[in-house]
Structure 1
Amino acid sequence: MGAVPTLGVVALDCPDPVALAGFYRAVLEWDAPEVAEDGHWVTLANPLGGAGIAFQRVPDHRPPSWPSAENPQQLHLDLNVTDLEAAHERVLGLGAKLLDDEPKTFRVYADPAGHPFCLCAC
């Protein structure tokens, strides 16, 4: 590896890293996560070789209050889909909460820990 970094993971704070990794594993249909011995850090590796997602236990985690700036989202994940309706039903069944369905080409959801993410059919 040289002096120019590559993106390894995007890390999300949450109260239960194992549970949130399980949610995203199901959404993305990725392989089983790697769980640190103490359970405070869980990593989902991208099977296609790109950046993965990590989950870090924060005992006093406060979920973002989208779209309010009271407790801002700070970041969100955009997940690309080709069938927005089918993907919508799927993520709701996995525990996501719909936050905004006004846009025609994407929808905004909260994961079980409250982090916003979008399903994009743009």
Structure 2
Amino acid sequence: MTTSSPVTELLSVCIDSPDAARLAQFYADLSGGEVTGVYPEYGYASASVLGSTLNFQTVADYSAPQWPGQAHPQQFHLDFRVPELEPAVEHALALGATVAAEQPEGMTWRVMLDPDGHPFCLCPPS
């Protein structure tokens, strides 16, 4: 039996940041997307990223996550498919990302950290 849900659509994912506009621009540039709104009066920004919307909210006293430890948990991470790993890593580095010091052993993807310390993964085709 299938029942109808009152939830009909996922509008976006919202990510905390010390600077919402800057992080929205980072993810737009990383993915070839665009910043779709910056609202400084609300400490809020949004970006169109690969057909989805990411929202960013400025948070006072922001505490960056630490990969892979849990003293400051990662809270979430984003995985991006890339055609080739090394050019994607270089692109992310040029935008201000860093390669996480600790990488899963033997994995073909790369764990990166955005300018605010959120981890994200660049994943080549299988």
Q: How many Å separate the matches in 2 of 1:11 and 1:59?
A: 15
Equivalence for 1:38 = 41
> Following the alignment from structure 1 to structure 2, what is the Cα–Cα distance between the partners of residues 114 and 26?
17
Q: How does 1:12-31 map to 2 (within 5 A)?
A: 12-31=15-34
1:37 deviates by 4.8
Q: What TM-score do you get using the length of structure 1 for normalisation?
A: 0.88
Q: Which of these residues, 3, 11, 14, is aligned with residue 11 of structure 1?
A: 14
Structure 1 partner of 2:81: 80
Partners of 2:12 and 2:107 in 1: how far apart? 29
The answer to which of 96-105 and 11-20 deviates more is 96-105
CA distance in 1, matches of 2:116, 2:40: 22
Asked if the contact 1:18/1:39 (under 8 Å) is kept, the reply is no
Q: Cα distance, 1:108 vs. partner?
A: 0.3
Instruction: Give aligned-pair identity as a percent.
Output: 39
> 2:114 aligned with 1:111, yes or no?
yes
What is the aligned length? 119
Query: Could you say what the CA RMSD is over the residues aligned between the two structures, in angstroms?
Result: 1.7
* Structure 2 unmatched runs, 5+: none
Quote the Cα distance in structure 2 between the aligned partners of 1:97 and 1:47.
21
Alignment-derived partner of residue 92 in structure 1: 93
| Shift in Å, 1:31 | 2.1
Q: In 2, are the aligned partners of 1:10 and 1:53 still within 8 Å (CA)?
A: yes
| Contact in 2 for aligned 1:78/1:117 (Cα 8 Å) | yes
State the alpha-carbon separation in 2 of the partners of residues 46 and 19 from structure 1: 15
Give the CA deviation at 1:32: 2.8
CA change 1:96–1:47 in 2 (3 A) is closer
Deviation per CA, 1:79-101, whole angstroms, max 9, x where unpaired? Answer: 11011111011101110010145
Q: Distance in 1 between matches of 2:87 and 2:34?
A: 22
Task: Tell me how far 1:47 sits from its aligned partner.
Answer: 6.0
Q: Distance in 2 between matches of 1:77 and 1:46?
A: 11
Secondary structure at 1:75 match in 2: coil
